């Protein structure tokens, strides 16, 4: 049975990072263009025209590999504005073809998501994703929560963990993971905190533990 991972999350959550990681696995079919470039628009993702509703998923889409990954944010930017992809419909199309489907729900710090979305897209779109996941027919979907921060922090160790979690061949390009870790797209949203209300309690606790 062929296997498919649907990677999804709010806009800016890290779809490209995880697509790049899985695309570096020679046994996995998917967004292979990301092996050659750091970033490109979702209109170049192999399943884009199915996501957009221009055509239905076909078994021929899975030729060439037994393991596949597809990635899309909710919403996704299309000509004319944002479009809320129907993840459940895509999941059902794949299941009807006899594909073993799992979802990877990408998580990223909420504040960073809001900053990223309003900076680039002028408004926060987190609610679009949450409304999709709150649908009654989404409750039984087989999914794992995937952490943007864990990939950046743990690098190869986390990439290996994900391959095992989804039961995919545990192989990937370590240079790709190194690139992701070194770039660390969270850094630009970080600001050093000079003082915080809890600092005094922490310092007090440290001193007490030393004095014991």
The pLDDT confidence band at residue 110, using thresholds 50, 70 and 90, is very high
Is pLDDT larger for residue 56 or for residue 190? 56
Other Cβ atoms less than 10 A from the Cβ of 185: the count is 16
* Helix 126-133 vs helix 110-121: crossing angle, to nearest 10: 120
Of 155, 157, 156, 72, whose CA–CA distance to 106 is shortest?
A: 72
What are the residue boundaries of the structural domains of the chain, listed by start?
A: 3-211
Other Cβ atoms less than 10 A from the Cβ of 20: the count is 26
Residue 9 and residue 107 in contact, taking contact as beta carbons nearer than 8 Å = yes
pTM of the full structure: 0.91
Residue 38 has pLDDT above 90, yes or no: no
Q: What is the pLDDT of residue 198?
A: 92
Instruction: Spell out the residues 6+ positions from residue 165 whose beta carbon is closer than 8 angstroms to its own.
Output: 144
Give the class (CATH, top level) of 3-211.
Answer: alpha beta
Residue 212 has pLDDT above 70, yes or no: no
């Amino acid at each position: 049975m062929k296997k498919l991972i649907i990677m999804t999350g709010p806009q800016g959550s890290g779809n490209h990072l995880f697509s790049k990681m899985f695309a570096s696995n020679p046994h996995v079919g998917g967004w292979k263009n990301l092996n050659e470039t750091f970033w490109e628009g979702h209109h170049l993702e192999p399943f884009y025209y199915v996501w957009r509703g221009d055509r239905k998923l076909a078994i021929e889409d899975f030729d060439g590999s037994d393991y596949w990954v597809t990635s899309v944010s909710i919403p996704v930017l299309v000509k004319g504005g944002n479009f809320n992809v129907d993840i459940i419909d895509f999941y059902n199309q794949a299941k009807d073809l006899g594909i073993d489907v799992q979802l990877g729900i990408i998580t990223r710090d909420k504040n960073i998501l809001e900053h990223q979305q309003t900076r680039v897209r002028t408004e926060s779109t987190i609610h679009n994703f949450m409304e999709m996941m709150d649908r009654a027919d989404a409750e039984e979907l087989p999914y794992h929560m995937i952490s943007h921060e864990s990939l950046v922090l743990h690098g190869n160790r986390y990439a290996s963990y994900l391959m095992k979690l989804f039961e995919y061949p545990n192989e990937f390009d370590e240079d790709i993971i190194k690139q992701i870790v070194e770039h660390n797209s969270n850094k630009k949203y970080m600001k050093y905190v000079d003082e915080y209300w809890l600092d005094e309690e922490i310092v007090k606790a440290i001193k007490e533990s030393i004095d014991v």
